Structures are given as structure tokens and as C-alpha cells.
Structure 1
């Protein structure tokens, strides 16, 4: 494949996962059409234009999830599209999280796929979904149950609990599969768990907030998360695009780790930082949907070698410090 033919699009390019996708794609010799909401905002694009290869092979495009047709120019002439853009926020300032998160995720996904359906050169579309679209079934998990890519979250259960992020990811992925099948689009979804690792962007996203909030806190909530490194997530996207045999969904996740276990690792790595010693709440609800066995058979077929959590946590804190994103 010639350099001129290696053109791909990344939506949500300024985000945590999107930024690493752009970085690795540039390293692999691709020309990247990167969509952001505001190409003139330094916080959104400065870290992208400074990446190796960006001067020669990075093109910035303005696109909004809710604006039909806004992705058309970005996907034109591409051989692959990585749809990483999706709203994710937990803010009391947002009055209607259901409408703003769910509607934007579903409509945005359809807008991107409608643009892709017009371009004959596109060989495959990779969408960034989540384990939130896998695990929220409402069904109790028996000890011998192994979760795999056939599982889908129940939209009714997500809505009942007002888990709007889970609902947004579930509905967006469902409409993506339906649209792709109806329009002959070769689509693959990547479904990561909680994402850790060093940020390239100059902001703290939702994924890293649980780690950042531990520093300097008086108490902690002993919730259970399943961490996966952002670099592994980005590479999984690219391998799923490049591998002819890749198909369907790929779940990426680590073993369940309580906040108390994560804190033990962080205290050993950073004795100079102030981490809480006292647990205030143990969240059983989260644990029900995190303490399970996840099949790694399919994702390992891509050739992924997962980053150990200790390495990921160290790189996370070091990366946050480098970006001056820690208050200490």
C-alpha cells in the first residue's frame, strides 16, 4: 500500500483514546484526518500537532456529533475510520444527562456511519464502545460464568438505574451494528473497561478522575474497577483494522482491582504523595459487575500484550505530573 493510500479518519481525536490512536497511526505511516469540535482551540489540538509526523500527515477537521453531514469531508478518500468520539460526563451542571449523553452518542454514531456509507474506499470502520455495553445485563453473575463478546447490556436495566453512560454506549453500539449490516459496512467494535495510562491531552478525562481524586483525599470509596491501559486500547483498534480476520467485538479488560489494592501499589510507587488510609464506603453494586471472569481468547488473537497495571499506574501519575494536572 502506497503512502497516498494510507489515509484514515479518527473522530474525537483530542480525547484520551483518540489522541493515542492518532499518535500510533502517525507512527505507522498513516495520514490521519482528525476530527475535533474546535480546531482553533489550543487545548484540543496543540498536543496533536506536536506529535511526530503531524506536520506531514495530520489534517484537522471540525465536526460535531449532532450535525448531520459534518463528518463527510473528514472520511472522504479514507480506507479506514476510527470512531472514538462519544460524550462522557458526570456533571451536575448538565441538566439532562440522558438526552445530552445518550442522544449525542446514538445520533453521532449514525452520522459518522452515514458518512462512511458514501465512501467506497473505506475498508473497515472501528468504533470505540465499552464494557458498559457488555456488562449491565441486570442478571446475577454465577461464580462459574465467563463473560465474552456475546454479552450485551440491557437498555431497560441501564435506564432503570439511570446509568446514562452505559445506556449511551449500549444503544450507540446497537444502532451501529444494525446500520453496518444494512449498508454493507465492515465494522469492528472495541469494548474496553476502565482506561488508565498517561494522557497526551492537557486535561483530566472521566477515566482518570478516580485516580486523580485519590491524591490528597481524606477517605476513599473501595470500589472495584477493571483497568486497561490506554495504549493497549489504541493498539487494539489499529490491529483490529489491519488484521483481515478481525470481526465483531473485542473486550479489553484487566483483573478486578479494588481501590484499596490500587492505593497499595500507588503508596509503594509514590511515598511522597498523600493517599487516603481510611475507607468510607464499600460499593457492592459496582463489585457485582466487575468481579467476574472475562474471556481473553478473542482479544489475544489480535496479538495484544497487555501492560501490567503497576506500569500503567506509574505512567499515569508520571504523565499527569508532566502535564501539571496534579494539584500536588
Structure 2
């Protein structure tokens, strides 16, 4: 689909170093020809939105089956030294434990699927199940796997369409009457991209890496926007 790839082909160096392939996350073997001969693979694709009508079909299957299909393809080719999987802090935080200011969250935390189901947190559930399946498969097939677990990712968009995390910020300046009374971890997309590169290139990289630049309440985000763009009409509460 040219609409989905035009911006990629316009990148600097794309004509020399970028190849695009057609693949289907839900089709076993779909990635075989793509990863054949690669030194490393970054699997970043997973649906992220909050209003899924059918979570199993729209979120869970692409996340879990897609991850396993990519890993299964990687397991066929010994040239692949390492696989870097984009997971999420959503696969870390939803344990049901209280997160008071004195509690330190780290890479040893794993979200509880039952907690996610009970609260209908379908995206966190998809990332939790996908990462768990990835670690089990990697152990079984002796794949060198590293996961990157970013918090809410914001920053410059690569594609011309709006994504879910950017939409959350955009809504604040598009007439929202209130902002969510929640606190999130935030991280810049460029730092996330660099972390993927480091996870592959640094030999000692292993396990999970939680990426959180800062933890901020939505009110802090509103205040930052207000300072930068005082003419914007922003929610007061």
C-alpha cells in the first residue's frame, strides 16, 4: 500500500539501504524470506489502541501469534545472532500490587494476565502474553532475546497518520474539557529507537530493559504545553 510506505521510501538513504517486504503477522512462515541472512531482528509490530471491539482478534492474536511467528522464522536461520522485541511497561506494571512512592518498579516485575483481564486492560494483556510467550519460545529454541519495555512513547512521528500515544497529547489541545487524572511514565521515541540499536549491538545486553525518562501526571504535560504555547486553550482540570 503506497499510502503506508511512501514516507519510508522518502527517508534519507532509503534507496540504498531500505527493502520493503509483504508479510502477515498471523501467517506462519510469512517472515522466513525476510529474516533469511539477517544478523539481527527487531520485532516492533503490535496493535496499540484502546477501543477494540473484539480484543482477541484485534489485539491479542496479532500480538501473541505475530510474535511467535516472527520468532519461529528467526529460529530457522543460524545467521541471526539476536532478536530484540518491543514489549512495553504495560507488561511490567499491572501486577495488582500497590505502587506507592516508595515502591521501586524494575525489570523483575511482570504484569499478571488475570489482573489485566479483570480490569479489561486488553492492550497490557496483549503485551504481557506476547512477551511471556516470547521468553518461553526463546528458551526452548536457544534464541538470544532482549526485550525493550518503554513507557508511554512520545515524540516526532515517522508516519503521516496519528498514533495512539500522540493522540493522547493532541487531545489536550483539541478542545478536551478535562485531562485524565493519571500518572504515566514517558519516554522519547528517539531514545526508544536508540535502545533497540544498543540492545542488538552491545554484546552484553540481555534480559529486559525498562525505558522511562520521567514519571509525570497529566497536569504536568498540560503545564508544559501551556508554557510553550500560551495561546492554546487547554483544560484546567
- Where 2:173 maps in the other structure, the secondary structure is coil
1:70 counterpart residue number: 30
Q: Give the CA deviation at 1:144.
A: 2.5
Deviations 1:46-100 (A, max 9, x none): 1111111110110000111111111111101100000000112223xx4312332
1:223 counterpart residue number: 182
Q: Give the CA deviation at 1:42.
A: 2.5
2:6 to 28, 46, 53: 46
Where in structure 1 are there 5+ consecutive unaligned residues? 1-40, 280-328
Deviations 1:268-309 (A, max 9, x none): 1112322222x2xxxxxxxxxxxxxxxxxxxxxxxxxxxxxx
Q: Give the CA deviation at 1:248.
A: 0.3
Check whether the contact 1:125–1:188 (CA below 8 A) recurs between aligned residues: yes
Q: Partners in 1 of 2:91 and 2:174 — Cα distance?
A: 33
- Residue 152 (1) aligns with residue 106 (2): no
Alignment of 1:22-171 (within 5 A): 41-91=1-51, 94-171=52-129
Deviations 1:16-53 (A, max 9, x none): xxxxxxxxxxxxxxxxxxxxxxxxx2331111111111
Q: Give the CA deviation at 1:218.
A: 4.3
2:134 counterpart residue number: 176
Mean Cα deviation higher: 94-103 or 147-156: 94-103
Check whether the contact 2:9–2:15 (CA below 8 A) recurs between aligned residues: yes
Q: Give the CA deviation at 1:260.
A: 1.3
- Where 1:127 maps in the other structure, the secondary structure is strand
TM-score, length-scaled by structure 1: 0.70
Q: Partners in 2 of 1:196 and 1:106 — Cα distance?
A: 24
Q: Partners in 2 of 1:232 and 1:244 — Cα distance?
A: 19
> 4+ residue runs of structure 1 moved beyond 4 angstroms?
none
Q: Partners in 2 of 1:224 and 1:176 — Cα distance?
A: 29
1:243 counterpart residue number: 202
- Where 2:172 maps in the other structure, the secondary structure is coil
Deviations 1:110-157 (A, max 9, x none): 000000000110000000000000000011234422111111000011
2:168 counterpart residue number: 210
Residues 1:142 and 1:211: Cα distance change in structure 2 (over 3 Å): closer
Q: Partners in 2 of 1:241 and 1:253 — Cα distance?
A: 19
CA RMSD, aligned part only? Answer: 1.2
Q: Partners in 2 of 1:164 and 1:132 — Cα distance?
A: 10
How many positions carry a matched residue from both structures? 236
